[in-house]
Structure 1
Amino acid sequence: MRPPSRPPIPPILRIVNGTFYRHHPNSASSHPNPPFFKDLNIEIPSNSTESPRRWCIIGPSLSGKTTFLQALRGQHLSIPPHARSWPYLSTDQVPDRLRTPSQAIRYVGFDGEQVGGLSGPATSAYLAARYESLREDTDFSLRDFLLGNTDLNPLQSPAEVEHELPPGLLDRVVSDLRLGPLLDLPVAFLSNGQGRRARIARALLRTPEVLLLDEPFMGLDPPTVASLSELLRSMAERAAPRLVLAARPQDPIPEWITHLVYLRSDCQVGSMGEKDVVMEGLRKYATGVWRGALAEDEKLPVRALAEMGRVLTSEGVAGEALGSEEGARQQHTVEEMAGTRDLPGREAEGEALVEMDGVQVRYGDKIALGNWTQDTPSGPAPKTGLVWTVRRGERWGCFGPNGSGKTTLVSLLCSDHPQTYSLPIRLFGRSRLPEPGSGQRPLTFWDVQRRIGHSSPEVHQHMPTYLSVRQVLENAWADTFKGVPKLDDAARAKVEAALRWFAPELNPNYHHDERVAVGRRGADDWADSLRWADDHLFGRLSFSAQRVALFLRAIIKHPDVVVLDEAFGGMDEKVRDKCMLFLVRGEEKTHDAAGKVVDSEVAKQGEVRATGLSPDQALVCISHLKEETPDCVREWICLPEANEGRPARFGRFDGPLRTDERRWRELWKM
Structure 2
Amino acid sequence: MRFPSVRPPVINIANGTFYRHHPGTNSIHPNPALFKDLNFTLPSTTDQPTHWYVVGPSLSGKTTFLQLLRGSHLCFPPAARSYPYLSTDAVPHRLRVPHKAVQYVGFNNDGFSSSITTSAYLSARYESKRENTDFSLRDFLLGNTELNPLKSSSEDESDPALLDRVVRDLKLAQLLDLPVAFLSNGQGRRARIARALLTAPEVLLLDEPFMGLDPPTVAGLSPLLHGLASKASPRLVISARPQDPIPDWITHLVYLRADSQIGAIGEKEAVLDELRSYVRRVWNGTSREDGNLAVHNLVHVGRTLTAKGIHGEPLMGEEALKSQKATIREACASRNIGKPVVEMDGCKVQYRGKVVLGNWKQKVNGKEQEGLIWTVRRGERWGIFGPNGSGKTTIVSLLCSDHPQTYSLPIKLFGRSRLPEPGSGELPLTFWDIQSRIGHSSPEIHQHMPRNLAVRQVIENAWADTFRSKAKLDAQAVEKVEACLRWFEAELNPAFVRSSESGSSSAKGISDLKWADHYMFGELSFSAQRVALFLRAVVKNPDIVVLDEACSGMDDGVRNRCLLFLEHGQTKSYVKNEDGSETVVESEASKLGTVKVGGLNDNQALICISHVREEIPDCIREWVCLPEANSGESARFGVSEAPLGRDEKSWREIWGM
TM over 0.5: yes
Name the amino acid aligned to 1:501: W
User: In the TM superposition, what is the alpha-carbon distance from 1:332 to its structure 2 partner?
Assistant: 10
Match of 1:563 among 546, 554, 557: 546
In structure 2, what is the Cα distance between the partners aligned to 1:361 and 1:434?
21
Trace 1:181-200 onto structure 2 (pairs within 5 A): 181-200=174-193
The equivalent residue for 2:563 is: 580
The equivalent residue for 1:85 is: 82
Question: Quick one: structure 1 residues 351 and 13, their matched pair in 2 at CA, closer, same or farther if it must change by over 3 Å?
Answer: same
Match of 1:527 among 510, 515, 519: 510
Match of 2:140 among 139, 145, 154: 145
Name the amino acid aligned to 1:298: G
* TM-score under structure 1 length normalisation: 0.94
Deviations 1:272-295 (A, max 9, x none): 000001011111211222233321
Comparing 588-597 with 619-628, which one deviates more in the overlay? 588-597
In structure 2, what is the Cα distance between the partners aligned to 1:460 and 1:578?
20
The equivalent residue for 2:390 is: 404
Name the amino acid aligned to 2:308: E
The equivalent residue for 2:291 is: 298
The equivalent residue for 1:126 is: 121
In structure 2, what is the Cα distance between the partners aligned to 1:6 and 1:308?
39
Name the amino acid aligned to 2:550: A
Instruction: Check whether the contact 2:114–2:145 (CA below 8 A) recurs between aligned residues.
Output: no
Match of 1:62 among 59, 70, 86: 59
Instruction: Check whether the contact 1:173–1:201 (CA below 8 A) recurs between aligned residues.
Output: yes
User: In the TM superposition, what is the alpha-carbon distance from 1:79 to its structure 2 partner?
Assistant: 1.1
SS of 2:124's partner is: helix
User: In the TM superposition, what is the alpha-carbon distance from 1:591 to its structure 2 partner?
Assistant: 0.7
Comparing 458-467 with 31-40, which one deviates more in the overlay? 31-40
Instruction: Check whether the contact 1:149–1:159 (CA below 8 A) recurs between aligned residues.
Output: no
Name the amino acid aligned to 1:24: H
The equivalent residue for 2:360 is: 372
Instruction: Check whether the contact 1:111–1:543 (CA below 8 A) recurs between aligned residues.
Output: yes
Deviations 1:301-349 (A, max 9, x none): 011112211110011000111243222224697252x3x12x41xxx54
How many pairs were matched up?
Answer: 649
Trace 1:538-617 onto structure 2 (pairs within 5 A): 538-593=521-576, 594-617=581-604
Name the amino acid aligned to 2:412: R
Name the amino acid aligned to 2:449: M
Instruction: Check whether the contact 2:279–2:295 (CA below 8 A) recurs between aligned residues.
Output: yes
Match of 1:165 among 158, 167, 188: 158
The equivalent residue for 2:484 is: 498
Question: Quick one: structure 1 residues 179 and 236, their matched pair in 2 at CA, closer, same or farther if it must change by over 3 Å?
Answer: same
SS of 2:497's partner is: helix
Residue 370 of structure 2 is aligned to residue 384 of structure 1 = yes
In structure 1, what is the Cα distance between the partners aligned to 2:377 and 2:153?
52
User: In the TM superposition, what is the alpha-carbon distance from 1:77 to its structure 2 partner?
Assistant: 1.3
Question: Quick one: structure 1 residues 111 and 333, their matched pair in 2 at CA, closer, same or farther if it must change by over 3 Å?
Answer: closer
Comparing 126-135 with 25-34, which one deviates more in the overlay? 25-34
Match of 1:473 among 452, 459, 475: 459
Residue 37 of structure 2 is aligned to residue 39 of structure 1 = yes
SS of 1:592's partner is: strand
Instruction: Check whether the contact 1:371–1:643 (CA below 8 A) recurs between aligned residues.
Output: yes
In structure 1, what is the Cα distance between the partners aligned to 2:329 and 2:220?
34
Instruction: Check whether the contact 1:350–1:392 (CA below 8 A) recurs between aligned residues.
Output: yes
Question: Quick one: structure 1 residues 30 and 100, their matched pair in 2 at CA, closer, same or farther if it must change by over 3 Å?
Answer: same
Instruction: Check whether the contact 2:565–2:599 (CA below 8 A) recurs between aligned residues.
Output: yes
Instruction: Check whether the contact 1:404–1:639 (CA below 8 A) recurs between aligned residues.
Output: yes
SS of 1:552's partner is: helix
The equivalent residue for 2:50 is: 53
SS of 2:447's partner is: helix
Deviations 1:345-371 (A, max 9, x none): xxx541111000100001012101000
The equivalent residue for 2:628 is: 641
In structure 1, what is the Cα distance between the partners aligned to 2:168 and 2:614?
32
Trace 1:235-254 onto structure 2 (pairs within 5 A): 235-254=228-247
Trace 1:97-496 onto structure 2 (pairs within 5 A): 97-114=94-111, 119-154=114-149, 157-158=150-151, 164-323=157-316, 324-330=318-324, 334-336=328-330, 338=331, 340-341=332-333, 343-344=334-335, 349-376=337-364, 381-496=367-482
Comparing 367-376 with 163-172, which one deviates more in the overlay? 163-172
The equivalent residue for 1:72 is: 69
In structure 1, what is the Cα distance between the partners aligned to 2:548 and 2:113?
18
Instruction: Check whether the contact 1:141–1:186 (CA below 8 A) recurs between aligned residues.
Output: yes
Structure 1 portions without partners, runs of 5+:
none
SS of 2:110's partner is: coil
In structure 1, what is the Cα distance between the partners aligned to 2:38 and 2:286?
29
Deviations 1:509-563 (A, max 9, x none): 1118x79xx9x9xx74663111111111111111000000000000001001000
Instruction: Check whether the contact 1:112–1:546 (CA below 8 A) recurs between aligned residues.
Output: no
Name the amino acid aligned to 2:381: R
Question: Quick one: structure 1 residues 618 and 235, their matched pair in 2 at CA, closer, same or farther if it must change by over 3 Å?
Answer: same
RMSD: 2.0
Instruction: Check whether the contact 2:329–2:584 (CA below 8 A) recurs between aligned residues.
Output: no
Residue 627 of structure 2 is aligned to residue 632 of structure 1 = no
In structure 2, what is the Cα distance between the partners aligned to 1:298 and 1:158?
54
Match of 1:18 among 7, 16, 21: 16
User: In the TM superposition, what is the alpha-carbon distance from 1:171 to its structure 2 partner?
Assistant: 1.4
SS of 1:328's partner is: helix
Deviations 1:624-659 (A, max 9, x none): 010111111111000000001111001111111121
Residue 633 of structure 2 is aligned to residue 668 of structure 1 = no
Instruction: Check whether the contact 1:639–1:647 (CA below 8 A) recurs between aligned residues.
Output: yes
The equivalent residue for 2:26 is: 28
Question: Quick one: structure 1 residues 218 and 332, their matched pair in 2 at CA, closer, same or farther if it must change by over 3 Å?
Answer: closer
Identity of aligned pairs, percent? 62
User: In the TM superposition, what is the alpha-carbon distance from 1:180 to its structure 2 partner?
Assistant: 1.1
SS of 1:277's partner is: helix
Instruction: Check whether the contact 1:150–1:159 (CA below 8 A) recurs between aligned residues.
Output: no
